[in-house]
Structure 1
Amino acid sequence: MNAIDAKLENLISKLDSSATNDIEHNTLTLVLVLRKYLNVFLDLVQKVFLIYDLIFYRYIHKKIGSLLNSNEFLILIIYVIFVLTHIPDLELTKSFTKQTKTKTLTDTVFGEQNLLRTRISCSDTVTLDERDKQFSRLKSEKYRLFDQFYIFNNIKNSTNNDNINIYNMKYELFTKSNDSKQLVEFLNKLKFCTLKSYSRNFDSKSIYSDRKFNFKSLLKNSKNIKKSKFKFLNPDSVNLKSGGYYKPPLCFQEYLYYHTSYDNLLVLKSIMDDYRTTKDFSLENLIEKLSEFTYGIIRDNFNSIAQRNSISKFVKSKEQDLSVIIIPMLNRESNLLDLMFNLHPFLQRQFLHYKILVVEQDNSRDAFNKGRLYNAAFFYLLKNYKIFGVNDQIYNGTKELNLNCLILHDVDLIPESDYNIYGCGDSFVGYYNDEMPRHLSLSIRSENEKKGNTNYSRNLYELLVGGVLSIRPDKYEKINGFSNEYWNWGAEDDDLAFRMIACATCITRPRDEHALFKMSKHRPSSQNINRENILLGSLRRHKVDGISNFEKLNLLFVDEEHKSLFTHIRVIVGRQSDDY
């Protein structure tokens, strides 16, 4: 029996690394499982006969003998005991077999390219100075900035009763006649930015079925959003422009956070805390104190050439560096609407300079190809924005913005923690890990499950990069973008992970408790039955399949429209049968 088991296991391991269809694999797996439990089953039969002898004739026969004869009762005992004691083990065995198959497939992909690295997570860490421990300046820890220096939930008579409030400072009370023009101009750009709330975990809102407003019409609206439509989500609708473009103000708190000493930050926090703990305080007095304190620091900074250069770099980065959230979709209107209503306020609470780009597959009756949509979005952005390290030497467009970050975003994932920092890091803050892609969607709860589900399922495997991923455009170009060969659902993100490893690109991740998402309700996606076979050859073709051959494919940009909540482009991605 053991020899047969060993041969079957050996056969399955060989089939895992070859082009075996699912039916053949499942059949062999079932044979192996049945063989494994045959000995146990025979032992059970012996025990059942004992139970039959002790129980049936002495007790049960008297009670139900008229309903079942002895042979039927014997079969019933065998069936019930076997099911109750071994079906859970059978399910575990099936699960183990699937995991073994996945692992073997992964090892095969790595083995073909002789890759020694089998992890995608970055092992490099940034060592912080002792003074930075409390106010960590890492991009991934930027939520500390908002917690410490933005939250004011006791400001009365705010300008618009929204979650985000922007106030002018009063530097004119303290500037001197001999202050330089550049100093005064910079001071006038800095604002006092406040938030009423900033949460480690919150429940996103589903509004597609809400009948109070005609929310569906907003997906088609091309005018600026009316405040009443967005009021219950508290966005900064004043600065939200057509095309889903948002340019935040320059907040003096962020400048000081990165350009002054730890001791000065303690003083600033002390000033703010005095007002946070006061029930009735004068907002005007607070702004005056903050203006005087900030003016003194910035005036000193202007006396240093290095500091003046850092100020110039800060302004250029905040005003010109743009993050674009790319959302590929096909027949997911309800998911898109829920995402828009939650994503805009979420990004604005982080004061991110962003634009939302929805790239929709126009040939809706054909198989979905997410990779081609992402690559189409990249080519669209390449023609419209300057991208450092990609087209900055030849770009001759009219836009002054620099495309600093791509955020690849599934349409059905909604963020549920303000501590999950979007973007690719600010260019005026240089850290190694900020240059690497960042996988943001680690812990997900599904709306497809029972109502009110609050249990988050953690990242299932180390190579997972799908869902929501921030990546710099030059890194996207370096790995040759997504493969164009995956149709419907499955393995296109794993292919991307292999590309990153092959191109010496690792990823960073936030903490599990910060990377929280809700998967909004939708019908199951059609699976790609050939995904594993395509994945086996991913590294052999990753240099010739992606951005590099995108323009040879049968694609067509159909339309571009700047709507209220996003910029919408429609693309015919071709069909599975006629790629070239």
Structure 2
Amino acid sequence: MKSHCGCTKSTKVKAAVCLLLVYLVIHIYDARLNSNIASREIQTESINDLEVFQDSHSPFTVVGNVTSKVNGVRRQSTCDYQLKPNDNSLRISSVSWADIEEANIVVSSGGKYSPTDCVAAYKIAIIIPLRDREDQLKTLLSHMHPVWQRQMLDYQVYVISQAGTGLFNRAKLLNIGVSEASKDAPYDCYVFHDVDLILEDEDCLYTCELNNPRHISHHIDLFSYKPISYYAPCNPSLESATVFSLIFPKLYGDEETQGFGGVSMMTGEQFASVNGFSNLYWGWGGEDDDMYHRIRKQAYSVVNPYGTKCSFRMIRHQHETGNAKNPTRFSLLRHAKARMRKEGFNSLRYRTLSKEFKSLYTNITVDIGQPSPTMMNFLTQRFLPVGIFACHAKMPWQAKKGR
């Protein structure tokens, strides 16, 4: 008997059986592949094996244990910040360094400020990763220094400037910021701040939360103030990445990836718990997603207690050639949780070139090297489509020993 489409019932049954067999074969293949990858990670992800990820310069020193370096002592706050009327009329204008310094005479050398009539709950290091973009830095500090003062923060601003013209590495600069700031004082709250984001409502407080990391730049004018979350290809929250899980992420229990870039805060304890940021994301993208999954791995939540009060304006700028999109970011993200104990703050290497205590900030210029030849070869790969091929790409530490 034929159906209305001209196919016999037996043909339909055969087609259904074929589809089922293909589905089972793909699942078996993916399960074996993911199992093999996981076992290789467990066996080979030592610090020595991960040397392939490090820069191509050898004299750098390894920072080492994170816990003893970043934990300050939280104090009992006596500051009582009162919400102030806010007209939400952010005005961005070009100003000179001299004008900004004159308007912030209470800021000490190195960009340091603490309230004189009360004790703040946290001692805060505000870390800004940078290369060039001085005009944006002027705009940010011109607007934010008075805000931070009115919020009665005990803080110091650290600008971590990457030397050279090679690939930019935002996350590595943030790790360096924590490393360098912790040499100056026992900070117990670290604010990671992109230079192009300006707070619109100062009732969004720049403080840490004891129980969970904070991410306050969910609402940005460039994205119509809508929070961004997505199902990332190669999401490490999945036990296996398959064609079907990429098409139907919710069905396979995938967790939406929320951003942790822009402006975020962590206590020293939280930062130590996740071993800081990954150093592997050269170029644009992926490092904030990697940190999000490190945070979730440690059973933290990412919180924003102020909701839409934490809104930001993005200063427009041209995308730098040295910060091009990293085409392998999703491949690296697939292994974020598996390697977090071996790679991060405890494997950080860099060279400090200079440290300048300027009127409004401490500028630390660093040489972070460039990806090793093996890593550079990996970074030049292209996966079209991204999907399953990127998720199952062989990592450089696997290729190193022919696995």
TM-score, reference length from structure 1: 0.45
Match runs of 1:373-452 below 5 Å: 373-386=173-186, 403-424=187-208, 434-446=210-222
- In structure 2, the residue matched to 1:481 is 276
Q: CA deviation at 1:357?
A: 0.5
User: Distance between the aligned counterparts of 1:332 and 1:579, measured in 2?
Assistant: 31
Greater CA deviation, 409-418 or 330-339?
Answer: 330-339
User: Does residue 206 of the first structure (1) align with residue 6 of the second (2)?
Assistant: no
Contact in 1 for aligned 2:220/2:313 (Cα 8 Å): yes
SS in 1 for 2:308: coil
Q: 8 Å contact 1:489–1:526 — kept in the other structure?
A: yes
Conserved 8 A contact 1:205-1:338:
no
Residue 470 (structure 1) aligns with: 265
User: Which whole-Å CA distance do the structure 1 matches of 2:307 and 2:335 have between them?
Assistant: 32
The answer as to 2:117 corresponding to 1:250 is yes
1:367 corresponds in structure 2 to: 167
1:508 pairs with 2:320? no
Partners of 1:441 and 1:499 in 2: how far apart? 19
Deviations along 1:49-101, one digit per CA (max 9) or x if unpaired, are: xxxxxxxxxxxxxxxxxxxxxxxxxxxxxxxxxxxxxxxxxxxxxxxxxxxxx
In 1, the alpha carbon distance for the partners of 2:182 and 2:79 equals: 31
Question: Any conservation in 2 of the 1:143–1:421 contact (CA below 8 Å)?
Answer: no
Is the aligned partner of 1:457 residue 2:258?
Answer: no
Structure-2 separation of matches of 1:384 and 1:511: 30
What CA distance in whole angstroms lies between the structure 2 residues aligned with 1:509 and 1:328? 22
Name the counterpart of 1:529.
327
What is the identity, as a one-letter code, of the residue corresponding to 1:204? L
Cα gap change, 1:457 to 1:487, in 2 (>3 Å): same
Q: For each residue in 1:393-428, what CA deviation from the matched residue of structure 2 results, as whole angstroms up to 9, or x when unmatched?
A: xxxxxxxxxx1210011111111112211112xxxx
| Aligned-residue offset at 1:434 | 3.0
Per the TM alignment, residue 242 of structure 1 is displaced from its structure 2 partner at its CA by 1.4
What CA distance in whole angstroms lies between the structure 2 residues aligned with 1:578 and 1:566? 35
Partner of 1:70: none
In the alignment, is the contact (CA less than 8 A) between 1:356 and 1:567 conserved in 2? yes
Q: Which runs of 5+ in 1 are unaligned?
A: 19-104, 114-141, 148-196, 231-236, 252-314, 387-402, 425-432, 450-454
Which structure has more helix as a fraction of its residues?
Answer: 1
Tell me if the contact between 1:328 and 1:359 (Cα under 8 Å) persists in the aligned partners.
yes
Deviations 1:20-41 (A, max 9, x none): xxxxxxxxxxxxxxxxxxxxxx
TM-score, with length taken from structure 2:
0.64
Matches within 5 A, 1:486-565: 486-524=281-319, 525-550=323-348, 553=349, 555-565=350-360
1:334 to 2:220 alignment? no
Shift of 1:143: 12
For the residue of structure 2 that corresponds to 1:357, the secondary structure is strand
Per-residue deviation, residues 319-347 of structure 1 (Å, max 9, x unmatched):
xx421110001232222121111111111
Structure 1 residue 356 displacement after superposition: 0.7
Amino acid at match of 2:174: Y
Paired residue for 1:351? 152
Q: Which amino acid aligns with 2:220?
A: I
Please tell me the residue identity of whatever aligns with 1:435: N
Alpha-carbon RMSD: 3.8
Query: What is the CA-CA distance between 1:579 and the residue it aligns to?
Result: 8.7
Instruction: Name the CA distance, whole Å, in 1 between partners of 2:101 and 2:259.
Output: 39
CA distance in 2, matches of 1:350, 1:579: 47
Give the Cα separation in 2 of the matches to 1:382 and 1:144.
27
C-alpha separation in 1, matches of 2:330 and 2:221: 26
Query: Structure 1 residues 346 and 541, CA, compared in 2 at 3 Å: closer, same or farther?
Result: same
Does the CA-based 8 Å contact 2:169-2:279 persist in structure 1?
Answer: yes
Q: Which of the pair has the greater relative contact order for Cα pairs under 8 Å at 6+ separation?
A: 2
**In structure 2, the residue corresponding to 1:335 is in which secondary structure?**
helix
SS in 2 for 1:205: coil
Contact 2:219–2:225 (8 Å) recurs in 1: yes
Matched, 1:322 2:120: no
In 2: Cα distance, 1:248 partner to 1:579 partner = 50
Aligned match of 1:146: 82
Partners in 2 of 1:10 and 1:572 — Cα distance? Answer: 49
Letter in 2 for 1:535: L
Secondary structure at the residue paired with 2:152? coil
Quick one: structure 1 residues 575 and 508, their matched pair in 2 at CA, closer, same or farther if it must change by over 3 Å?
same
SS at match of 1:548: helix
Go from structure 1 to structure 2 and tell me whether the alpha carbon gap of 1:484 and 1:579 turns closer, same or farther (over 3 Å shift): farther
Secondary structure of residue in 1 paired with 2:346: coil
Number of residues of Structure 1 aligned to a counterpart in Structure 2: 293
Task: Report the structure number with the largest CA radius of gyration.
Answer: 1
